[in-house]
Amino acid sequence: MDGAGGRSYEDFKPPHKMVREPPTHTLTIDLSAKGYKKEHIKVQLVRSRRRLVVSGECPVAGETNRWSRFRLQFPVPDGCDLKAIQARLHDGVIRVTLPGVKPQQQPPPAKTAAAAAAVVGGDQRGGGERCQFLRERGKLATTLLGVVLVLFSFVIYIRYSVKP
């Protein structure tokens, strides 16, 4: 026995297939023989590990405390648009669609400080360049603040240690 309420679990590995047709990949899991419904299934994306986890549990037909459960993990293919992943259950078959990232035209990289300032001002919306510029600007501001504090401390030290 395992789990809450004295349930006993029957683990199984459902038939599944990953069809790789770039740029879109499709995962199919057949649960039709076990009687799973939408509320019995969980599809999760673990972004930190780029893993798709599909799990579920449902009561075994005709039994009160016996449950059937499964857990499958799949690597998310490179180039997959994580925000566009979709899962659907139809006639006991889960179909997870993993679409590829659509290529987008990005503005050319900023070559001068004026162009980088334009990015900050909102004239251009180059996300990666803007973040990098802001990070560098933040580092510079922190360094300057540190130098000013050290100089200020040094002046105070000299003023109080050398009394006329």
**Does pTM top 0.75 for this prediction?**
no
**Model confidence pLDDT, tens digit, residues 8-57:** 999 999 999 999 888 899 999 999 988 899 999 999 999 999 999 999 99
**Model confidence pLDDT, tens digit, residues 40-51:** 999 999 999 999
pLDDT value, residue 43 = 95
94 exposure class (CB count in 10 Å sphere: 0-12, 13-18, 19+): buried
Cα–Cα dist 135/44, whole Å? 32
Domains, the chain, ranges and CATH?
A: 4-98 (2.60.40.790), 113-161 (no CATH)
Give mean pLDDT, residues 140-162. 89
Rounded mean pLDDT of the chain? Answer: 83
Pairing of strands 24-30, 16-21: antiparallel
